[in-house]
Amino acid sequence: MADSNENQAHARATLEARLGYVFETRELLEQALTHRSAAPDHNERLEFLGDGVLNFVIAAALFEQCVDAPEGDLSRLRAALVRERTLAVIADEIELGQAIVLGPGEMRNGSRRRVSILADGVEALLGAIYCEGGFDAARKVIMHLYAQRLATLPSAASLKDSKTRLQEWLQARARNRPEYELVSVTGADHCQHFVSRCTLVDTGAAVEGEGGGRRKAEQDAARRMLETLETDPDTDNAATKDTPQ
């Protein structure tokens, strides 16, 4: 038990050092790090609060930094910065996983590395910092965590999904929107594999895409179609069937 307490204390000290913030109210830190599987006083309410604070701070930072960007570009950039995957990477950077308190079942399942739990934990920490230190303290930590990301923003265009980019490519040439059709669904319920077809209405050209869900399959099909059109726009004069291997 002593070793466990020492390890936990070390993990929290490391976490606070990476955050650049030391909690005065240790109970608040405890709650922020407690998953719902471990205790009734868990971090979900703090997560809700932290999500709101994070979205506002990032929105304000982008508004000030990207002075000529339209609303759509700002929304895409913000979504990329606050999405679950990005938050999970931040969790790794601050070594949050070792400090999270999980119930026995989640511990056995290896949930300490689960992306959703890590992302929720980051938001809960931000909510706890807001509760203890106020908005300025939370903003300071967020800007510290996002300094490099804000300094190296991707282009907003690169963040558009494939279906949007394909539709814009076609609209710019006064062409009809593509149609999507579900071709097949295979596999067990928990690991289904989808194949969808993207068809250009004016020429009948078609390609197929695949993925772990219908939306992912449609996005893959749109990506394949766009790659074909951008490589050789004349290749869509005849219908094709590009079935995934």
* Residue 123 designated active-site: yes
Q: Which residue, among 59, 113, 99, has the nearest Cα to 82 in the 3D structure?
A: 59
Q: Which residues does the annotation place in the binding site? A: 47, 120, 123
Q: Considering the chain, what is the average pLDDT of its residues?
A: 89
Question: Which tokens is 98 given?
Answer: 């070792």
Residue 46, Cβ neighbours under 10 Å: how many?
A: 25
Check: CB of residue 83 under 8 Å from CB of residue 75. no
Per the model's pLDDT, the better-predicted residue between 195 and 235 turns out to be 195
Q: Averaged over 183-207, what is the pLDDT?
A: 92
Query: What pLDDT is stored for residue 201 in this prediction?
Result: 92
In this prediction, residue 114 has a pLDDT band, given cuts at 50, 70 and 90, of: confident
Confirm whether 51 is a catalytic residue: yes
**Helix orientation angle between 71-82 and 115-151, rounded to the nearest 10 degrees:** 130
144 and 151 in contact (C-beta within 8 Å)? no
DSSP state of 153: P
Binding-site residues for Mg(2+): 47, 120, 123
- Model confidence over 17-27: pLDDT tens digits? 999 999 999 99
Structural domains of the chain, ranges and CATH numbers in brackets: 2-155 (1.10.1520.10), 160-242 (3.30.160.20)
Q: What is the mean pLDDT of residues 225-244?
A: 63
> In this structure, are residues 43 and 152 in contact, taking their beta carbons and an 8 Å threshold?
no
Cα distances (Å, whole numbers) of residue 178 to 77, 145, 202: 26, 40, 9
**CA distances (Å), 121 to each of 8, 47, 71, 78, 111, in order?**
16, 7, 29, 19, 12
Measure the CA–CA gap between 238 and 235, rounded to whole angstroms: 7
pLDDT band with cut points at 50, 70 and 90 for residue 3: low
Residue 183: how many other CB atoms lie within 10 Å:
16
pLDDT in tens, 89-111: 999 999 999 999 998 887 777 66
Catalytic residue among 106, 123, 218, 236: 123
Q: What is the pTM of this model?
A: 0.71
Outline where DSSP puts E strands in the chain.
179-186, 193-199, 206-211, 241-242
* Residue 67 confidence class, pLDDT cut points 50, 70, 90: very high
Catalytic site residue from 51, 208, 210, 220: 51
